[in-house]
Amino acid sequence: MSHSYESPDQRAIRALLVTGGVLVAIGLLGGALPGVGDFFGLCLPGGLFLLLVAGGVFVAQRTVGEALARLLTNLCGASGATTPAPKGYSAIEARPS
């Protein structure tokens, strides 16, 4: 069984989506049940808020996070331009003495 790496941001987004979805479902179901609609009705706005936050985190990660990673790679990453080329040897120099 292969496991793929999941970043903490992806786990947070997944947790927000699941929690928000469950709260929305409880809020919608609670609104349909007589007598408990007021209590469970509070779950709907909270769930929608969590779904909105999850969307915001996802968009921020995809735009700002990836752009920042590219910028840091370009600024700090070794390009090879400053590393000298390895010394080449002629056939005579490479022959054991």
pLDDT, tens digit only, all 97 positions of the chain: 555 667 777 788 888 888 888 888 888 877 777 666 666 777 778 888 888 888 888 888 788 877 888 888 878 766 666 666 777 777 777 677 6
pLDDT of residue 36: 66
pTM reported for the whole predicted model: 0.54
pLDDT of residue 24: 84
Quote the crossing angle between the two packed helices 43-60 and 8-32, to the nearest 10°: 160
